[in-house]
A and B are shown apart, each in its own frame.
Chain A
């Protein structure tokens, strides 16, 4: 599919300046690297068909190869198209290139799923990263429009990333501190459970912008500002509560009654039972809840830019305001990367903390 997309859809777009529509160019504009890319996608397709779930390392190799060649091809396309163009001309990434990247991602996840050993994951990720950095330094990738936008933002970009992480992380932390105990209470007291789950469920259904608006009034009543980091963090915390409370409760409720009975019958106190038996057994689901909450909060943290918090959302809103698509991308792509990184980190945490006795038999 990535192969077809590469050929059929525009690969790169040349625009006279950063905000007007441009002229599409096919993958051939990248010259030799374009041909290489086609070859790499072809290899990926062959690898996915031929190895179908058996050897993930081939899929990983194909994915990293596509990624690296794609980066160099884009760089080459940018350099070629900009040669002799006007000084404000920009080259954006076309649909074909995006789809090729998506194809590589699919191959990578399929390969990562099938691969038992971790070295193949490490090697393919390092190769892809090195390839990308190389393309950025020497391959002309830095001449793409999104890179130019990044250069224009300068240190402010990293400030936005930092704020984004700080706001999301703080909210997630507070939600964990509040949510896990609430989950425990839900598992203990059915009447409280009904109320708590209903409340966090309703919060979840309130659209994020509406919630920010609604928060202004009660905060004002308390003499607190309705805009800025405080309401932002409050809103994100509220959103993060549902997955954490619900999964903590489900995890605890799912503990086999016979196991709890055995623990009680052997003389464990309430807290010993919770800490030594119920908590370790519920842990996989609790971490799962935190994982969902983390991904959710990183996404919604963008919206908080509306009330004046400097998150990556600011770039998106700015980009939309200026109809500068690549500025929008500069905000969106790092958010996706952050979400994937948080997801991966929490999966690793789960592997490290959950007892081998209750891990999925497959792993």
Chain B
């Protein structure tokens, strides 16, 4: 879908990108990563001709990008950037309609598209259409940025650190949602980031760059298990088994059957029942199945009154979602000091949980694989 053939960019003596060749297949996410100044952003900006290459050729869908005017080219390529770049003087709806308006869509068509896109990125159209960017939180603004890039339904998305300017928790949500949207839309995406975890989580293929050179272009698994150079090895980090957990989603290892009880009032009798025999914790949910806390059977058996064995929690903080990465779930679990963590849906309804044991299994599988590959990977420096 996107082909770079021997593309170079020189600024006088400085070489920003050197003889880069790359092919991104239809529907794939290619993450460009590397230390700052490695040429990843330059590469992205050459695709939509915000920067013209010094030499080489870039093809999108088989057509040379220089065969049409830059404006026409860019209207066909979705573009989202780090600081979002939302137009502050235009409403959310107006921002999303930017490219459709340039393409001359009629008004009802554009309005319908705005509704559709806001729903897609998880924002209520009725509430958000007429807001101005300054009224949005960082995460909401990033969602609108993604919706804007998708507005004219371009086959290709160019994203330059689109989730770079938000807090880690929001970033995690945005990544999960991006993965969901991408699964649905199957765009060809070029995604620039400097965050290895983000790359591992979202990429079909990672292009790791350094000083304008492509170091390795392969699947995240291949970069983790068979780094082509010492630089790739070091860049991907020593905790490769842990990193690999970023590729696995909570729903893949989640336990669906968990002991639950409705509110804490029946705790005494609950404790006598079998559920305490098979698990230390019994989740407490409300009438709608929403997570409210848990009951600690051990503490109860050790003689505390039932009320003291109950821990009340806010599901927004104490639980993960099915599309959360296992790495994130593990880090949250350890952060809270528990051996398992509840899984809830978007409304807080309890779906199940993930236990440390389950994660260990996944990790061991990875370790075994690495050990099998020969401990320290072979590197040609």
Let me know if B132 is at the binding interface, CB within 8 A.
Answer: yes
Q: Interface with B: A21-29, A245-253, A292-300, A355-363, which one?
A: A355-363
Contacts of B84 in A (CB 8 A): 258, 262
Q: Which of A259, A262, A269, A361 contacts B79 (CB 8 A)?
A: A262
Residues 83-101 of B, flagged 1 when their CB comes within 8 A of A and 0 if not, give: 1111111110000001100
Closest A-chain residue to B151, C-beta based?
A266
Residues 38-55 of B, flagged 1 when their CB comes within 8 A of A and 0 if not, give: 000000000010100000
Interface residues of B in 10-26 (CB under 8 A from A): none
Contacts of B99 in A (CB 8 A): 266-267
Q: Which of A267, A280, A354 contacts B71 (CB 8 A)?
A: A267
Q: Would you call A267 and B72 a contact (CB within 8 A)?
A: yes
Complexed CA–CA distance, A258 and B84 (Å): 8
Contact A261:B85 (CB < 8 A) given known A266-B102, A357-B91: yes
Q: Would you call A263 and B83 a contact (CB within 8 A)?
A: no
Complexed CA–CA distance, A340 and B84 (Å): 41
Tell me which of A280, A281, A355, A356 has the highest count of chain B C-beta atoms within 10 A of its own C-beta: A355
Closest A-chain residue to B74, C-beta based?
A267
Q: Would you call A265 and B81 a contact (CB within 8 A)?
A: yes
Q: Would you call A269 and B71 a contact (CB within 8 A)?
A: yes
Contacts of A361 in B (CB 8 A): 134
Complexed CA–CA distance, A356 and B48 (Å): 32
Complexed CA–CA distance, A281 and B87 (Å): 9
CB distance from B155 to the nearest CB of A (A): 15
CB distance from A216 to the nearest CB of B (A): 46
Let me know if B194 is at the binding interface, CB within 8 A.
Answer: no
Q: Would you call B74 and A259 a contact (CB within 8 A)?
A: no
Q: Which of A261, A267, A277 contacts B73 (CB 8 A)?
A: A267
Q: Would you call A261 and B71 a contact (CB within 8 A)?
A: no
Contacts of B72 in A (CB 8 A): 267
Contacts of B148 in A (CB 8 A): 266
Contacts of A258 in B (CB 8 A): 81-85
Let me know if A116 is at the binding interface, CB within 8 A.
Answer: no
Let me know if A272 is at the binding interface, CB within 8 A.
Answer: yes
Contacts of A262 in B (CB 8 A): 79, 81, 84-87
Q: Would you call B98 and A266 a contact (CB within 8 A)?
A: yes
Contacts of A188 in B (CB 8 A): none
Contact A357:B74 (CB < 8 A) given known A258-B81, A258-B83, A262-B81: no
Let me know if B226 is at the binding interface, CB within 8 A.
Answer: no
Q: Would you call B89 and A268 a contact (CB within 8 A)?
A: no
Let me know if A347 is at the binding interface, CB within 8 A.
Answer: no
Q: Would you call A265 and B87 a contact (CB within 8 A)?
A: no
Not counting A262-B87, A266-B74, a sample of 10 additional A-B residue pairs whose C-beta atoms are within 8 angstroms of each other reads: A261-B81, A263-B98, A266-B79, A266-B102, A267-B102, A355-B132, A357-B88, A357-B91, A357-B132, A358-B88
7 contacts between A and B (CB under 8 A): A259-B85, A262-B86, A262-B87, A263-B98, A267-B73, A267-B74, A267-B99
